[in-house]
């Protein structure tokens, strides 16, 4: 019964994300767990924590964006968009492919020396409500929030 309740809560989280109001701007934090050697999005979650793991290039992007003073944390200002826009100082991620239940792939532009794509998992639907065609990101320093 406990497992069914957990699944129901996860399904509810997806439904709220997909059906809920979408924002023009998000501030999202990611935490590196040295024991797992993985980055995770920092958000409430009823399911398995590994569902929140950043992998397939997203982890490498967070490695690049982290700094030595961050104490294993990266906070990003995130602007999801359906049209390409100018956002000076932001890294542009351009969607190349997606499947609703399998996540979305993005090419990363504007981060010197980072020349690979990234994948974001379906948990993105809980956070952003959809897979935007463009995602603009900028690291936020601890004192800037």
- Render pLDDT for 2-18 as a digit per residue (tens, 0 to 9): 555 444 444 444 444 44
Distance CA 101, CA 94 (A): 19
Indicate whether this model's pTM tops 0.85: no
- Render pLDDT for 60-84 as a digit per residue (tens, 0 to 9): 888 888 876 667 888 889 899 999 9
- Render pLDDT for 84-103 as a digit per residue (tens, 0 to 9): 998 999 999 999 998 888 88
For residues 118 and 61, the answer to whether their CB atoms sit within 8 Å is yes
CA nearest to 100, candidates 134, 55, 132, 130: 130
Distance CA 134, CA 48 (A): 28
For residues 108 and 119, the answer to whether their CB atoms sit within 8 Å is no
pLDDT at 124: 85
């Amino acid at each position: 019964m406990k497992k069914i309740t957990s699944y129901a809560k996860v399904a509810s989280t997806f439904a709220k994300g997909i059906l809920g109001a979408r924002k023009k701007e998000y501030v999202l934090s990611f935490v590196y767990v040295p024991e797992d050697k993985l980055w995770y999005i920092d958000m409430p979650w009823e399911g398995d924590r590994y569902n929140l793991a950043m992998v397939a290039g997203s982890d490498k992007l967070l490695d690049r964006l982290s700094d030595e003073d961050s104490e294993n944390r990266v906070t990003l200002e995130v602007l999801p968009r359906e049209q390409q826009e100018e956002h000076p100082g932001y890294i542009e991620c351009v969607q190349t492919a997606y499947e609703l239940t399998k996540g979305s792939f993005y090419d990363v532009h504007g981060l010197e020396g980072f020349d690979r794509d990234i994948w974001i998992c379906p948990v993105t639907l809980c956070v952003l409500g959809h897979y935007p065609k463009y995602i603009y990101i900028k690291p936020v320093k601890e004192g800037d929030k």
